[in-house]
Amino acid sequence: MYAIGMRVALVGALCAALVSGCAQETTEMPLDPATNPGMSGGESAVKQRAERPIEPRPEVPSRPPAAVDVPAKAVNGTLYVALRPLADQVGGSVAHDPVEGTIEAAIGGHRFSWIVGAPVLSRDGVFLPGDFTPVVEGKEIWVPLAFVRDGLRWPAQTAEGGRIRLAVQNATVEAAKPQPNRPALATLRAADVAAYLQHLSPPIRGARLSSRASHLPGAPRSYREGVHEGIDWYSGYTGVAITRSTPVVAMADGVVVRADRAYREMPKAERDRLLAECRRLGRTPAHILDRLRGRTVWVQHDGGLLTRYAHLSAVADGIDVGARVKRGQVLGYVGNSGTSSGVAGTDEDLHLHLDILVYGEPFWKYLRSDEIRLVLEAVFSPEKR
C-alpha cells in the first residue's frame, strides 16, 4: 500500500509540475566595453567571501547517458529530485557549504547556485523566475522538479516507485561552458562599470544618491560582522521624504524572479540568534544575510544585471514571480523589515536597501571605495531624478 501511495503522490506531483509550463526566461545581452586585461582590479574595498571549490566529479563515460534515473519524492504536492545522484550520472558535481548556507552545482555545462531556505536559483549568474527552494537532509540535497525543467531544461519522463526518469538533453561532461561576450567584472575599469549601469534610473522617484559613506557599498556592518553590500536610501539624505507609503520602482525593464509577498517578520529571539552566529563566525553567512534583508523583490534585467530591493513594507499588486515589469513601475513600498526596528514593530530606520549584481556578483566587488562612489554618482546623476 505504501508503494502504491508513493507512486500516486509522485505521479500527481509530476503532472502538476509539467502542466505549470516553463518559467519565463530573461534575455542575456552582451556587453563589450573597453577593458584593461593587465589591471589587477584594484584593492578590494571589503573582505571577499572565499570562493569554495566545486567537489571533484566522479568518473563517467565520455558521453552523457540519454536518460538518468534518480530518487524522487513528493513533498506537499511538489515533486523533488535528489541533486547529487543526478549530477553524478552526467559527470556533474555538487558542493554544499552548510555554514554559508549555499549550494553550488556544475551540471550539463552550466553552473547553478542556491541559498538554503530561499526560493531563488542562479544559472550562470542569471536568476530564473520560479520557486527553487532546496531541501537539505543530512548529506542529501533535494531540489524541486522545476530545477530540471527550467534550470537544466530537460523533460521528465516517468515517475514510479520513488524514482523519476529524466531525458538528458544538450548535456556535456564539461563543468561549465565558456560564455562569449560576457563581461569579466574583475577586468573592468570604473568607467566601464559606470557605462554598464548607465541605463538604470533611481529606485525612488526624485531621490538623489546619499553622500554618507555608511550608506554606500563596502561600509562596515559591525553588528553582523560584515560589510554593507548595497546602497541605502533614507529621508534626510536623498532629498525626498521617505515613509512607508513611498513607492519603490523598477530601475529598468525586467522580470520579477522573487517577490516576498508572504513575508513574516522573525521574532527578536531568532534575529538575536542569527546575529550571535555572525559574531561567532566573524562574518555574515549568505543564508543569514538573506533573512536580514527582510521583505524583498528581485528583478532580473538583460545582460546579467539584477536589482534587489530590500526591507520593503509591502509588495505592490501584480508584482509576482515571472511578471514582466517596466522601468518606473511600482514594485513595493519602503519599510524596515528584517531590521531591529522592523522586528520591534516601530517606524524607526525606514529606508530602502538596494543591491545591484552583475552575473551574480556585486557591481563594486573589484573597485576601490573612491571608484564605487564615482560609479554611483555617474549612474544616479542629478539629471536622472
Sketch the domain layout of the chain as residue ranges: 2-27+39-167, 185-384
Tally the C-alpha atoms within 13 A of residue 118's C-alpha that lie toward its C-beta: 30
Q: Which of 58-72, 213-227, 254-268, 301-315 has the lowest mean pLDDT?
A: 58-72
Q: Please check whether residue 215 is in contact with residue 264, taking contact to mean a CB–CB distance below 8 angstroms.
A: no
User: What are 75-80's contacts with CB under 8 Å, separation 24+?
Assistant: 75/135, 75/142, 77/12, 77/13, 77/16, 78/13, 78/16, 78/17, 78/144, 78/145, 79/10, 79/13, 79/14, 79/16, 79/17, 79/144, 79/145, 79/159, 79/164, 80/135, 80/142, 80/143, 80/144, 80/145
Q: What percentage of the chain carries pLDDT values higher than 70?
A: 80
Helix extents (H) in 113-257: 145-146, 190-197
The more confidently predicted of residues 266 and 21 is 266
81 pLDDT band, cuts 50/70/90, is: very high
Average pLDDT over residues 342-358: 97
DSSP E strand stretches across 45-160: 67-75, 78-82, 93-97, 102-107, 110-115, 121-123, 126-128, 135-137, 140-144, 156-160
Instruction: Please provide the CATH number assigned to the domain covering 2-27+39-167.
Output: 3.30.457.10
Strand partners, 314: 333
Q: Which of 21-30, 200-209, 254-263, 286-295 has the lowest mean pLDDT?
A: 21-30
Instruction: Please provide the CATH number assigned to the domain covering 185-384.
Output: 2.70.70.10
Q: Please check whether residue 121 is in contact with residue 128, taking contact to mean a CB–CB distance below 8 angstroms.
A: yes
Task: Please count the other Cβ atoms lying within 10 Å of the Cβ belonging to residue 381.
Answer: 14
The more confidently predicted of residues 319 and 383 is 319
